[in-house]
Amino acid sequence: MESPRPEKVAVVDEVRTRLDEAHAAVVTEYRGLTVGDLAELRKSLTAAGGEYKVFKNTLVRRAVDGGPHALLGELLVGPTAIAFVQGDVGAVAKALRDFSRTNSHLVVKGGVFDGAMLSPAQLGALADLPPREVLLARVAGALQAPLAQFASLLQALPRNLAYGLKALVDERGGLAEPVAPEAEAAAEPVAPEAEAAAEPVAPEAEAPEPEAAASEGDD
């Protein structure tokens, strides 16, 4: 059996390495694209964080056979080029979609992302998403909103507590008025000495009654 040519082995190894290092990969068919079209497409994909490479299907099948990217094998029909994604998958999907709108010769067949297959419709949905930076900003804003609401709640607690206390006081008839100092003095208990002086005089202590008149028999 003839050994594979070194150049073919090198291509197979290159495909494996690129797939392993990429965040995702998108398989396309480029039949009918001119050299100028391919150059324009590569430029737009590079700006989006992708790299566009043309390979023979037989060599790509060898590279993915039995590996984590084996699902790509079913997409390898016709002249094939692969967009290797090093950044935002949505940005690369958008660049491919925008190019295909002006050049119908480019056909997006599908791809793989994190070991899962992506259909052309799923790639189109990713293309419709806002840029990664915008999504991150929205997530950060969503996380900050509850914190801001919680801070506002904490600031409102003292004010609401004061309102609650006032309502409770009003419900119970208001605060008791302070007692004037004169009233306090008048309400002070009488000292024991004063009580003794004010006690009523016992009957024995009253003035003695006049002596009874001399009996009528006395001269």
Residue ranges of domains in the chain: 11-129, 130-170
| Distance of alpha carbon 3 from alpha carbon 95, whole angstroms | 40
Sort strands 107-113 and 80-85 into parallel, antiparallel or unpaired. Answer: unpaired
Q: Is pLDDT above 70 for 181?
A: no
CATH class of the domain at 11-129: alpha beta
Reference 71, options 27, 21, 41, 31; nearest CA is: 27
pLDDT tens for residues 131-168? 555 555 656 666 665 666 656 655 655 555 555 555 55
- Lowest-pLDDT range, 102-106, 115-119, 164-168? 164-168
Q: Is 83 left (phi over 0), alpha (psi -120 to 50) or beta?
A: beta
Reference 16, options 50, 59, 80, 64; nearest CA is: 64
pTM (two decimals): 0.59
